[in-house]
Amino acid sequence: MKKPHFYFLLFLLIISIISFININYAYYIMEGLTSILLVFLAAFSVKYVNKFFTAGIIMFLVENTLEIINEFKPFNIFFWQNILIIYGTVFLMFGLYKFYKKYFELEKTFNGIFKRSNEAIFFWGKDKKLIKANPRAAKLLGYNSPEEMVGMEVEKHVFKEDYEHVNKIKKLLDNKEEIEPYERKYKTLNGEIKWVEVHAINVQEGNGEYYFQEIDHEITDRKKLEEQLYREKEKFRMYFEYAQVMYVILDKNGNIEDLNLKACEILKVKKEEVIGENWFENFIPENIRDEVKEVFNKIMSGELEGVEYFENEIITKDGEILNISWHNTYLLDEDGNIDKTFSSGLDITAEKKYLETLKYNAKFATKFLNLNNEILTKPWNESMYQLILDTVIDIIPSAEAGSLLTIEENQRIFTYKAVQGYNFEKLKEIKYPELPLSIKKPIIIDDWDDIYIPPKYEYELLIKYGRLKEIKQSLIIPFYLRGKLYGLLTLDIFDEKKKFSDIDLNFANIIKSNLEYLILKVFLELQLKKSAELDYLTGIYNRQAFFSRVKMMMSYLSRHNSSRMGLLYIDIDKFKHINDTYGHKVGDEVLKFFVKQVSSMIRESDLFGRIGGDEFTVALMDTDKEGIESFISRMKKVFKEKPFIFEDIKINISSSIGYSIYPDEGKNIDILLDIADKRMYINKRKKPEE
């Protein structure tokens, strides 16, 4: 396409040629063109300038017309020409004044909008360098002012993968074509990523050159929200696809719009095979199809808010009938109308069959309730373990025998507490170290050798008295106390035709939870009772508990006319001096050391208590005077050979001891304690002064 300069020069050449041929022709042509130009100028000024300017143009148009007419038919027009020129000039000048005033006001308004606009505005030259930008553009890209940006190349803040933006600018400048708004991202001076929506147009200057105006609306927050929504959508899609319940989405006609992997697994289909297929025609048994469809229609019509629980049969691709428990709700379209149903289903076929069996045999509820009452209302003792095992074997129909093992406190070894179907007396001899595997929930095992092989002696006992080789399958129920494994309850099957089912496993989980709760409650109560009887520092009986238990022992001895009991009253020598010299922390350590040594010497049937700061009592069962003095002699020897050592402190501990004998010297605890106390002080006075 030729540029305007070419046509202008061509016109001048033609007029020059005509002038050489006949100057008058050239004059008439120019006058005619001037009139035409004035007509177009008047029409333009009516729309785009103002009425004063238009009036001035019209006056010059009339004057020019009179001039042409005068050439063909001369008459005196000089007066009117001057009048029209004078008034036309005045109107033109006034019109131009108003035009430029309005132009400058518009320019001022434009500059105000340009500077204060919330949109980033860029003007790019044909060389793709920035001509100017507004403050919002500078802020967007991290500059202090727009002036810093002048001359910047368009590629500066463009990501390499986003060079399509540069191509669009080139397209605008070269082809003068408009482009649709599009989105792009900037990299700011400090490395941030800013997203914008670009509105681009090309602008033509007076010289015919084009430049590119870019108006950017920042959409960073929107893009972040879109990305977040996309991630949430993907997260939902992952949850939807891999959930362990079946999800089915139906459109308003009951056709399958989507379903997850679990649904495909249960229905035994591939997703692409069933999308678009009618749910009711393909997967609902004919005998209940109308009933299920009626519920669906009520949900779609809004008559039902959503069915929290609905149970019905479905038929799989291979014809298997399954029972599904559904939770149904509806989905809305953009206008808020019910558009789809969303259903989550759980296969309860096995549970259904089991519950139908329980209708004829209500053992589970009755037996377990009775077990709860028995454990919670009666004092805990070792026989409770047998009651638990017998009840569980009775509850699980497949179980033919079983055992219950617990971990001995502070020893981390398993011992048998109860068995059914085995020789308990022989199995009590077996002690297992803690199993190498971690069992967190009930499991079914087919071969014990795959799980654990004990040492040879214990293994032979298990084969002989635990019928290990006869067991065809076992169900292991672990139970935990405060997060630590406390025991194992094993149920065993000897009949090859029998198997533990998934239903048995489900009920084993229920049994596990209930047993853990019951045993924890019992042991917390026992621990609470025990902590009320023990001395907080040394862990032996406190004064009240010691006296209470000695009275019980005396009562027992009295009723059975049994043997004697020795009561020792012990006081640690120079304990006040130890406290004053080394402090109470060391004093406490001395007390704990003393208790530990004495505890190691007494028998399980004896009693040991702290009745005061450094004063202790020991009740020795089935002991006479000779036995008491032998015990005292051994005590002295132990403390003489083993001094107390704490950090860099070494102390030789000794004690003063008095004793009395029941029933020779009294049958009352206070009398016996008073005798022992006096003898202790006699023993203490024989030693050097503290």
Q: What is the mean pLDDT of residues 42-49?
A: 62
Choosing from 80, 113, 146, the residue where a domain stops is 113
CA angle 478, 481, 482 (to 5 degrees): 130
pLDDT category, 690, cuts 50, 70, 90?
very low
Contacts of 286 (CB under 8 A, 6+ apart): none
Collapsed DSSP state (helix, strand, coil) of residue 112:
helix
Q: What is the pLDDT of residue 253?
A: 92
* Residue 57 covered by a domain: yes
Per mean pLDDT, which range of 93-107, 129-143, 600-614 is the poorest?
A: 93-107
Average predicted confidence (pLDDT) for the chain? 80
**Neighbour tally for 484: CB within 10 Å:** 8
- 666 is a domain residue: yes
Could you tell me if residue 155 is inside a domain? Answer: yes
The C-alpha atoms of residue 654 and residue 663 are separated, in whole angstroms, by 29
Q: CB of 644 within 8 A of CB of 653?
A: yes
Q: Are 27 and 126 members of one domain?
A: no
Q: Are residues 130 and 218 in the same domain?
A: yes
Per-residue pLDDT of 120-173, as tens digits, reads 888 888 777 888 888 888 888 889 988 888 888 877 887 776 666 666 666 665
Asked if the structure places residue 660 within a domain, the reply is yes
483 and 548 in a common domain: no
Domain that holds residue 58: 15-113
When mean pLDDT is compared across 4-18, 228-242, 378-392, 599-613, the lowest value belongs to: 4-18
Whether 360 is covered by a domain: the verdict is: no
Return the residue matching tokens 């037996």: 367
Q: pLDDT per residue over 330-347, tens digit each?
A: 888 888 888 898 888 888
Instruction: Tell me how far apart the alpha carbons of residues 20 and 13 are, in angstroms, rounded to a whole number.
Output: 11
Whether residue 516 sits in one domain with residue 452 = yes
pLDDT digits (tens, 9 = 90+) for 500-548: 887 788 888 888 888 888 877 777 766 666 666 788 888 888 888 888 8
414/517 same-domain check:
yes
398: exposed, middle or buried (C-beta count within 10 Å: 0-12, 13-18, 19+)? middle
Last residue of a domain, one of 530, 561, 590: 530
Domain of residue 311, CATH code: 3.30.450.20
Residue 359 lies in a domain: no
pLDDT average, residue stretch 656-670: 90
Q: Are residues 282 and 301 in the same domain?
A: yes
Which of 194, 224, 254 marks a domain boundary? Answer: 224
Identify whether residues 129 and 220 lie together within a single domain: yes
Looking at the structure, do residues 637 and 620 belong to the same domain, yes or no?
yes
Co-location of 519 and 541 in the same domain: no
The answer to the question of residue 105 being in a domain is yes
pLDDT of residue 360: 40
Domain shared by 512 and 393, yes or no: yes
Do residues 645 and 538 share a domain?
yes
Which residue did the predictor score with more confidence, 46 or 218? 218
Residues 108 and 127 in one domain: no
Output the CA–CA distances (angstroms, integers) from residue 556 to 336, 552, 563, in the order listed. Answer: 83, 6, 10
Strands, E assignment, 264-352: 310-315, 321-332, 338-347
Per the structure, the count of domains in the chain is 5
Give a yes or no: residue 446 inside a domain: yes
- pTM, full prediction: 0.38
